[in-house]
Structure 1
Amino acid sequence: MIFFLLLAFTACKKEQQPSPYSNIVNFAIKDAKGETLKAGIENNEIVLYWPPEQAIPDFITPVITVAEGAEIQPASGTKVAFKDGTAYTVRAKNGSITTYKIKMKINSVMPYIGSVSFKVYKGKTFLSKASSVTVSGDYFSSDISLVKVFLVAKDGKEAEVKVETVTPISIKFTADGPVGDYRRLKVISNNRTANYEQDFELAPELLFPRLTGISFQQQQTLKRGDQINVKGGTDADLANVIGFYDINTGTEYPLIVKEKRKDGWILQIPSDLPLGVYSYLYFYFPDTAYADGGASLIDFDAPVTIVP
C-alpha cells in the first residue's frame, strides 16, 4: 500500500514540473488588403510569404500564440520592423529559451532589364536632365507605386528619379540628379531589384532655341537701320545667326542682333538688306558637347516690307 502511495506522489510531482516548451504555435499578420497571412515555422524561422503586387510595409503587428505557459518578446500585438532577421524570444515556463527570426518570401518575379534609351554622341553615352528615358524589359509591375528607379553614381550614391509610366514591359522616367558620372541604373519592381550596368554621364538639360510664334500680328513697313522686337520664343538666346529668308529663292539675309533674350531678340535691319517683302525668319544654333546644332524657320502672320 505504501509503495502505491509513493508512485502516486511521484507521478503528481512530475505533472507539476514547469513546461519545457518554448515554441511558437501560430504567427499571423495582415497584408495590404487586410487579409490574414499565417507564417510557417521552420528551423526557428518565421517564414512569411508576401503577396505579389502589394507594397511591403516597414512595420507589422503580428498576432502570436505560443506554447502553454510560455512567454514571447516582443509580445503579441507589438509593432515590429518587417524585415529579415527581426527576432523573437520565447521563454518556456522552465526557463528554456528559443529564438526565432523572421524570413520574408516575396511572391513576385524578378524584373528583367533588356535596354535603356541612353543617348550616344561623339563617343559619349549619356542621359540629359529633364529628358524622358525608356527602360525596356519584362516582368515590371503595372502598379506605378511599386516601381522605383535610381541612377547610381560612380561613388555609389543613388539619385531617385520620377517614374512617369509603367507597363509590364517598359518603364518611362524623367532623368534627374546631380550632373556627373554614373555606372548603373537600378529598378525596384514588386520589391525585387534589377540592375543595368552601364557607364554613362548625366548631362545638363539639352536646350534648343524655339519660336512658337511671332509677337507682331500686323504688317510692318520698315527702313534700313530700323529695329524689330521679336518675342514668342523659348531659349531664344542660344541662337547665333538670325535673319530674313526668301522662300522663293532660298536666300538668307542675316540681320544685326542687338539683344538676345530667352523669349526673343531685338534685331536691326542692315544697311545693305535688299528692299522688298519678307515673310519668313530663320535662325541657327551651334553644336554643343552633347548634340549637333541646327536651324529653324518660322513664317510671320503678317509680312514685313522694307522700303528706302
Structure 2
Amino acid sequence: MNQLYKKSIQAAAGLCLLWAAASCKKETEYAPSPYNRVESFSVAAGTETIRASIAGDSIVIYWPSHIPQPEKISPQVTVAENASVTPASGTAVDFRTGTAFTVKAQSGAEKKYFLKVVVNQPPIQVTELTYAAVKGGSLVVDNGTYMRYFERNAEVTKFYIVDDQNTATQLPLEFFNDHSGVPSMRISVPDVAELKAGAYRIRITSGAQTYNSQNKIFGIIHPASLKPKVNEVTAPVSVKQGGTITFQGTGFFEMQEARVFSYNADWSEKEVATLQLESSTASSVTYRIPANFPAGSYELGGWEANGIFIQLRISDFFGFWQWNKAQKNYIEVGGNTTFTVTQP
C-alpha cells in the first residue's frame, strides 16, 4: 500500500506541474500591438534637420522661410514598435499640405496622418543702407544679412520700388547662392522708358509679410556712357553782371546750377559765385551771371591769383550715390582763356 500510495502522490504531482507549466505558457502570450502612432518625422534641408510636430492626425512642419521649399522630400519617419508606415521612411513624397501617410499597427489597425506645411516666417527685415543699380543692370544683395526673412522663391516673394506718387513698380528677382555659399538675390532694373533714374522707397511682399521702407534707399543710376560732355572754352569770354553765358556740349540733360571757384594759397577751394540755370538743350546750356559777381578780368583754368574754374552740375544719379547724403556731380569746363566780367 505504501508503494502504491507513493506512486499516486508522484502522479498527482506530475499532473500539477504539467498544469502549472500550461498555465504559465498561456499567461506569456501577447495580443498583437494595437499602436499605430507616428513617433517622429524629420526632413533634411541642406545642413539643417527640420523636425515635425505630431498633433492628432497632422504632421506639422514649420518650414524656415529662408530655405527654398522643395517639390519633394524624403522624410525619416519613426512609428510605434511593430507598426509600419506607407510610404516607407525615406521614400520621396510631394512636399505639400495634404500628403498622406498610413501607419498600420501589428494588429492591423490603421491610422492616416496628413502633412501640414507651415512657413515659419518672422517679419521681413531690411537694413536701410544704400541700394543702387545702373539702369539696365542689376544689384546683388546678401539675404543672410541685409534683406532677409522671406521665402527665397521668385514666385512667392516680390520686390517693388515706390516713387513719390506711391506708384509701385515690380523689379525682377533671382535667388541663388554665391561662390561662397551665401544666400543672395539679384535685383534687376530693366532699361525701359517708364523707369526713371532717381531715388525710391522699396516694398517687399512674401507670403503674409510685407515690408515698406521709410526712406528712399533704392537708387536707379544713369550709365556712365550717358554722362554729359562740355566743350572746352578756347576763345576769350566777356560777360556782364546779371547777364547770361552759354556753354556748348553733348548729351546735356537734368542740368542744374554751375559753380565758379578758385584756390586759396593753401590750395583749398574758395567759392566765387553760383550760376543759376536758365535753359538747357541736348547740346547747349545757359546760365545767369549773378549781379554781385565781382567785376574784373580772370583766367579760366588758370592757377594764378586771378584764376577761376567752372563746373556744371549734372544729375545726382551718376556713379556713387547715397540715399542719406546727396553727392553733387559736376563736369569740368575745360580750356584756358581770359574770362572778363563787366558791369551792365
TM-score normalised by the chain length of structure 2? 0.41
Q: Highest Rg: 1 or 2? A: 2
